[in-house]
Structure 1
């Protein structure tokens, strides 16, 4: 845990600190905050998941979730924010997993932007979660420093807490599936832009850009082109029943379909 202390939060003062942490991460437009103090207070009071990570007495990460359907089986992790590159997000997920298992839950779900490569790697490789649904413009257009007015396509990640790959991942063994030699690139990156390919093979590779957040700031037109390309290829494949089975070190979703 590298000196981290994780604990559930309940007081207004603690939740106001979480609100400020999230504000510093997302810099949302007024009214666009990922969650309010009042809602966190209500969720904590009714037995849901509101947890902070502290290092040296300073809040460095937090996560908020709520019980979801099917009742008694699922925790939905609504928002998690943490400093990047210090193991805080992983520590929060481990805490969240233990919290869920202690309550007899077997799954944690959350949504994430499928274009953010580091999040895809974290969710699929480091945690062993799997995307199970492509959600088009799930939150509408989002005006904050990370989304910068882009449409909010999201992937629903499902973390099945007792599956072998998840147990291995939380032990520190990343989930790196092999890519068969006959895999076909359905969406590639060329000169910074997406290029569509074939989608008629059993195993397909779908690329995402190296840094979509920087691209939104420097070239929003190309960022939107990537959004629609990934939606048209990956979203369509998943809509047809194809399964995402992993994420490659080169920044590709690995997709298996029936042909």
Structure 2
């Protein structure tokens, strides 16, 4: 089956359709979408990236990005929304990659919720991007279907466009894990902290943080604080996330300085 058609958006009716799509994905009223048609129009007119994915003439995904710092090297991808499980998000990111390379850019950055396992797997394993910084409550509390009023912790992630385009192999993050310590373990659905003094440590995630936010806000907050303290603390110390193991655990390598 052919993939979706990806193209840049330029007309107000296209931006309005994308805005409504974002509102549906994030469970928000169409009067308060994550990005308005007017903002997309301004960004596109100024030469930034606004693109949509189409299937049989129907918009099924969209992505908005703008030039970032360092100037002339970086594109910051602000939002990408698409129907899940059909390769639409990947098609949008690959189109965005080619768009950035055509303009001489060397990397794309974006933020994502570090607690959502499918996003971590997509970003780290499928794309080969790497978290660089933990950002506490980046947007404040967000009242939508995805964030459920939780604080919006994010990790700033960078995709090196000069690296090979091949996706990582499923066993990539398994190398050297025999001696890894569990700095944060999923123990019966609850976060359990452990020693983080090994050269390589694992940081588990909950099975489904979005469902947990709806069903048990206390448990969801416990996970938020545990990941913030563990993963955020490791990144602040200079440790590097080198992979994502078994679709559930960040693999973090502590440099000699951060491990001292």
Q: TM-score, normalised by structure 1?
A: 0.95
Residue of structure 1 equivalent to 2:86 = 86
Contact 1:29/1:143 (<8 A) preserved:
no
Stretches of structure 2 lacking an aligned partner (at least 5 in a row) = none
Shift of 1:163: 1.3
Residue of structure 2 equivalent to 1:239 = 236
Which 4+ residue blocks in structure 1 deviate beyond 2 angstroms?
28-33, 172-177
| Post-superposition CA distance 1:60-118 (Å, at most 9, x none) | 00000000111110000000000000000000000000000000001000000000000
Distance 2:33 2:151 in 1: 16
Shift of 1:237: 0.8
| Post-superposition CA distance 1:120-146 (Å, at most 9, x none) | 000000000000000000000000010
Residue of structure 2 equivalent to 1:57 = 57
Number of residues of Structure 1 aligned to a counterpart in Structure 2: 255
Does the residue aligned with 1:23 lie in a helix, a strand or coil? helix
Contact 1:125/1:175 (<8 A) preserved:
no
Question: Taking structure 1 as reference, are residues 105 and 91 closer, same or farther at Cα in structure 2, changes over 3 Å only?
Answer: same
Stretches of structure 1 lacking an aligned partner (at least 5 in a row) = none
Shift of 1:235: 0.4
CA RMSD of aligned residues (A): 1.5
Shift of 1:30: 7.9
Does the residue aligned with 2:6 lie in a helix, a strand or coil? strand
Where does 1:98-247 land on structure 2 (aligned, <5 Å)? 98-164=98-164, 167-169=165-167, 176-177=172-173, 178-247=175-244
Contact 2:54/2:60 (<8 A) preserved:
yes
Contact 2:23/2:32 (<8 A) preserved:
no
